[in-house]
Each structure stands twice: as structure tokens, then as C-alpha cells.
Amino acid sequence: MSEFRSPIPLPHIPDNLTISQFFLQPSTSTHSRPIRPSNVPFFINDRTGHGVTYEDAHRRTFGLANALSIKYNIGLRHCLPLESLQYLSHLSQVPRMLTTRSPSGLFIRLEGSSRKPANPSYTVDELKHQLTLTKAKLIAVHPDCLDVAKAAAAACGLSEKSFLLLDASPSGPHSDTETIDQLIAFGESKGENYSAIRLAPGEARRTVAFLSFSSGTTGKPKAVAIPHFSVIANVVQMAAHYRLNDPQTPAKCISPGDVVLGVLPFFHIYGLVVIMHYTLYAGASIVVMPKFNFTQFLDSISRHKISHLYVVPPQVVLLCKHPASQGRDFSHVKFCLSGAAPMNGDLMMQVSKLFTNAAIGQGYGLTETSTTICSLQHDRKLGTIGSAGALIPGIIAKVVKPDGTLASEGEQGELIVKGPAMAMGYYDNPAATAETFVDGWVRTGDEVIIRNLEVFVVDRLKEIMKVRGFQVAPAELEGHLLLHPDVADVCVVGIADEYSGEIPLAFIVPTANALERMNGDREKTEELKRKLEKHVSDHKIQYKWLAGGVEFIDAIPKNPSGKILRRVLREHAKTMKKPKALRSRL
């Protein structure tokens, strides 16, 4: 078999609707979906329990859209997608929601219609890269992130008037910056000044909804252009996979009234599409946690009687091993899915003992595929050990062996996929697009085996590391380390870590001057290692820090063409004494 695909039929996917129009339209003869009861909110404030209803979201969204149209001249073809406006409009009702669970800034290009989620912990340089790449003109930002955002914006030539503030008190330190609440109130007080976008057939496939950042295979993060159709398609695919609308199938996975814990970042594609869109589509409510703290995470599960957990392996490790988990009642949890990085079999068995009433498994996807490629089957209580789940409807997969031939079932090779949810490519980066998006197929860079339509991820052909579910490009860290005057050459590899999945370890060739200063002195050698680690931690977000440490080496192994033989050093790292990881677990 050269191609693999799910036998489940894929329902019709409309290609003339924006995401919000698709989500808000009633069920039709061509497309039905679960009906959300009027008393089931979209979002729930974790701390207060306050719910954001459909009416709340609709009213505030109108006010925000109208104000943006009047104040910033965002017109018919320039208006933000309604789902972005809904997202923005409710944030100020959920205190401190932006600290980690969602973007520090929603970058708005006035000449475009997409929003660009950003990691709130980014440094000035990292944020500057995103602002420059997306040509952002307007930034909605949480007060905690405002100083970094202003510094990055200034470096890009943006003015002080480019900011909208979320969750701010009028008497606070940033009282001179307009808030989202003020903007909404202004819009509600004025007559309607904008019209909703109407897409022609097929236009949703070409109209960008999100620029979601992914490291790809090398260098700095790249903006993946995701159209409205891709998000809609992936939601429909997941709904078909889980038999969401089948009255003959018990709704084991999700149904209206279920409660999901929104603990994953909404700037990450997993949180953005699977949680923010799919679970809302299914009629569930999302309890939004402002920032991950493990004991508070446990308290939220109990307080809100969470039924659905979408997590990453580091959180599963804590659930299984942290003493605070012991003795708690998790009987209300009926579904637990882990994604963003592989979860080993031991962990799966341990978490199944914790959540005795839950279906437990894994899912797998990429930013470039607008998320889910495979997921736990709808009728399984426990996923196959080592499996990332079964291919969802609409996905066509091939496994390509190193010699370019197609693998048969059970043979190993690179996973290449296509389907209705594939992204358009990397924004303003045709060279990177051509490497990953080939004739309608997406090269995942992951080495897999497919058996019984289940995907088993064996290794990553790409050089990307997955640290706590976040992508880290070795080339980005290597480029930064090479700026240090004591570094002659460098190779960064990921090493296995029980908590984080992987952590970065830097093999560094010191300069002649650095070697002379160290001169075999152990104390001076350790001091230089600490300086190099600090060189990274001072300029990079925490999950990119060299938690695996620094190892000095005589030369970086390379092939005749000069390409780093990274796998050689990865294998060498496995023989070394396990380094102490610099973690922040709670």
C-alpha cells in the first residue's frame, strides 16, 4: 500500500465562509452539529466562575469591530475575522488571561485580515522578529507584556499609538494607553460603520485567518499562513473522526455542556485549533487558566469538574508523579488527550490509573497542517501504546523511505501528508515554503511507521527539538551562540528529559583565546560554561535555555559539504552523564 487514509467519509466543507460565519450559522441539511444549550457559556473565568455567553461575545464583538472600523479605518476587506474580534472582545472579562494562555500581542495588519498570536514570554528581539515579519500596525497587549512590546515596537518604528491594552485599570500605570473595554464602549455608542465580509465560493481557501508561528526546520520562527478553510476543515475532520453528530454513537469524546480546561497556550496551534475552535464547536465550555501552576491546575480540575483535558507530556509527568495529585477525585474526567510531543507507554499506563473513567490517548499534528493529522479513535478507552492515534478522515498519508520509494505498512520512513486543512505555506518565505509544501503535500519531517492506519512516530528527521511541546530550532540557538566572542563553532542538540521531553544541549568549540584563558583550569572552564548559558537565557524565552548545559568539544563533526552531522552528537550525548536540567516545574 503506497497511500494510507481513513475509511470514514468526510462531510461537505464549505469554502465560502469565514471561521466565525461557519461557527455561528445554524445547522443545515448539508451540515449539522451539536446544539449548544443557552445556559452553556463559551468561556469561563477560572478564578471567578463568570461565564462569557454567546450574547456577551456577540455584543462586545460588534462594539470592537465597529470601533476598529471608525478609529482605524478597517473596512470591508480589511476588517479582522469575527472570531478574532470575539477573542479580543472577551479577554478583558477574563482577568490576566494573556499572561501565558494566549497571545501577548494580537498583531493586526491594517491592510490584511489575519491575526498573529505571539508568545507572551518572548524577549524584545524575538517579538521584534514577529512584528517585522508580519508588518504589524496595531498591537493588543496585556499590561504585563507592555514594556517588552513597546521596546520591540520602537525597534520596528511603530508609534506609542499602536497599542490596545487588555485587562487594565484606568488608574493604573498605563492609563494613557487605550483599553479594549474603552474601544468596545466607543464602538457600541456609535452607529454601525462596517459590513461583514462575504466570500465567493473557494475564497475561504485563499483568505488568511491566522499567521501562526512555527520554526519549520531551520532558523527563526516562520509565519504559517492558515486560511479560514483550513481551520473549518480540521474541525469538520475531527468531528467526523469522533462521530460527533452520529446519534447511534455514544458521545464518549465530547458533547454540549462538557467542560474543557484551557491550560494550553492559545498562541500554539494545538490550543488555537483543537481547544479554542473544535471544543467550542462541539458545544463545550472552556475554563481559561491565566497561567500554568500545577497545584492551581489540579484545583481548577476539581473546582470546575473538568471533563476534558488536552495536555502535553510534561503535564502528564506532573499528574502522575507529583504528590499533590494523590488522593484527588478525578472521576468526572472522561477524556484526556496528550499532544505536541510523544508520550511514552509508561506514562500512558500511569495516567490511566489516575483517570479511571477517562478515554486516554494521543494526537499528532503540525502548524503546517493546521493541526490534527491523527488522534485517539472514538471507540477506544486506551490508545495503542506508542501510537499517536489513527489518521483522521480526509488525510492522505505516504511514508517515504530514504531511497525515495514508498514504504508499505509497517515500514519506516518520513511521513508526508495532504488533506483539506493544509496551510497555504510560510508567509513571505517562498524558499522555505518550497521545501515543506510540495505539490499539495506537506513534508512533516517526522520518521514514522503506519500500521492499521495508526501512526507511530519513531524519530524526527527535522532538526527541530520539542521542549515542553514548544518547537526550538537548533539553528536559532547556534546563531545566537556564535555571536559570543568565545565561541568558534557550535552544534545544539536535543537530549531526552523525562519532564520536558527534550532539552537543549550545546556542544561548543571555544576560540583560541578562550582556550588560553581556561588553560585546563576546571573553575575557569565552568565559569565560561555558565557565561555561555547566561548568554542564551538573557536573550531567549525560558524553554530555549540550555537546560542540558554546555559541553566543550575539539571540533563539530560535519560532512564533506559542511553540513553538521547532528545525529553523531545526539548519539554522543546519550553516552554522557545526564545533565541537571534548569527547570521551572510549578
Lowest mean pLDDT among 163-167, 327-331, 408-412, 452-456: 163-167
Region 403-430: mean pLDDT is 94
Instruction: Return the minimum-mean-pLDDT range out of 108-112, 249-253, 268-272.
Output: 108-112
Average pLDDT along the chain:
83
Q: What is the mean pLDDT of residues 241-246?
A: 86
Q: Considering only residues 158 and 522, tell me which one the structure prediction assigns the higher pLDDT.
A: 522
The better pLDDT of the pair 190, 102 is held by 190
pLDDT tens profile 518-570 = 998 999 999 999 999 999 999 999 999 999 999 999 999 876 556 678 889 98
If pLDDT is split at 50, 70 and 90, which confidence band does 308 have?
Answer: very high
Q: Would you say domain 50-194 falls under CATH 3.40.50.980?
A: yes
pLDDT of 136 over the 50 cut:
yes
Q: How confident is the model at residue 68 (pLDDT cuts 50, 70, 90)?
A: confident
Averaged pLDDT for residues 66-80 = 67
C-alpha triplet 355, 357, 360: angle, nearest 5°: 60
Q: How is domain 465-575 classified at the CATH fold level?
A: GMP Synthetase; Chain A, domain 3 (3.30.300)
pLDDT for 364: 95
Residue entry with cell 528581539? 125
Does residue 93 carry a pLDDT above 50? no
pLDDT score for 78: 47
How far are the Cα atoms of 211, 223, 462 from residue 425, in angstroms, in the given order?
10, 8, 17
| Stated pTM of the model | 0.81
10 Å CB burial of residue 224 (0-12, 13-18, 19+) is: buried
The pLDDT of residue 2 is: 85
Q: Residue 321: which of 291, 360, 350 has the closest Cα?
A: 350
Of 99, 108, 102, the residue nearest 43 (C-alpha)? 102
pLDDT of residue 219: 62
Same fold, 4-14+206-460 and 465-575: no
Residue 414 is predicted with a pLDDT of 95
Buried b (16+ CB within 10 A) or exposed e, 285-307: bbbbbbbbebebbbebbeebebb
Domain ranges of the chain: 4-14+206-460, 50-194, 465-575
CATH T-level fold of 4-14+206-460: Rossmann fold (3.40.50)
Phi, psi for 5 (deg, rounded to 5): -155, 155
pLDDT of residue 578: 57
Task: Give me the pLDDT at residue 65, please.
Answer: 80
- What pLDDT was estimated at residue 92? 45
pLDDT of residue 107: 45
User: Per-residue pLDDT for 155 more than 80?
Assistant: yes
Give yes or no for residue 355 having a pLDDT over 60.
yes
